[in-house]
Amino acid sequence: MLGAGVMGSGIAQVCALAGDEVACYDVTPAALDDARAHVTTGRFGLDGAVARGKVTRKQADDALARLTFTTSFEEAAATDLVIEAVPERLELKVRVFRDLDRLAPPQTILASNTSGLPIAAFAAATDRPDRVIGWHWASPAPVMKLAEIVVTSETSDSTIARVVDAATRCGKRPIVVKDNPMQWGFVANRVYFAMVREAQRVVDEEIATRADVDQLMMDCFRWPSGPFGMVAGAGSGWT
């Protein structure tokens, strides 16, 4: 796991609960301390999951035992599947994939949790384009079922099958979609931002307030949050 922010630490937690040995990497010990707190005592962490009866104490403890926090890029790369969750900057992610390609074992699959940057750009930075794939998670990772599996024309069938299997074991509902380098957002975020744009038009036209729009959409479509609530949650975390 590359990147130990709220998203990366949540992904690491889910994978460890699914039975995988996980090395969660970030550049500073302070970031890893924050990640460990998110995984253990955070709102969607393991302690809370035990308290809510979602997992047993033994399952939580076993998951923690499988989870290592490290500042060693090499350690995080030495695995069968790497999930990248560094900040959403194309040049940074391309550099990360180039470094991963150099350090990871030949059979390692390189996956990105990008929300919409082109997977083809990451694949082109490597000598293993058949083993580069998108695995887009939703926040909070321990709760949301989304597994948007994004493939390029070069992603191999075996890579797709292995990542779909991994997502299923993590309790997600994997859907395979095609990469489109000309459009940002794959499927979920393209539709999501179209909804947000229209909701903002309603507010700009003074038809309803943001709070009204959120409540109407929740009442009508049984959404857990309205469009503006979704924006706030994605930007600053769910409370």
Asked if residues 47 and 13 have their Cβ atoms less than 8 Å apart, the reply is no
Reply yes or no on whether 136 is catalytic: yes
Asked if residues 44 and 124 have their Cβ atoms less than 8 Å apart, the reply is no
Catalytic option among 38, 112, 136, 139: 136
Catalytic option among 9, 112, 113, 115: 115
Domain positions in the chain: 6-178, 188-236
pLDDT digits (tens, 9 = 90+) for 131-147: 999 999 998 999 999 99
Q: What is the pTM of this model?
A: 0.93
Reply yes or no on whether 115 is catalytic: yes
Catalytic option among 189, 198, 205, 225: 189
Catalytic option among 38, 148, 153, 206: 148
Reply yes or no on whether 180 is catalytic: no
Q: Class of the 6-178 domain?
A: alpha beta
Asked if residues 68 and 23 have their Cβ atoms less than 8 Å apart, the reply is yes
pLDDT digits (tens, 9 = 90+) for 161-190: 999 999 999 999 999 999 999 999 999 999
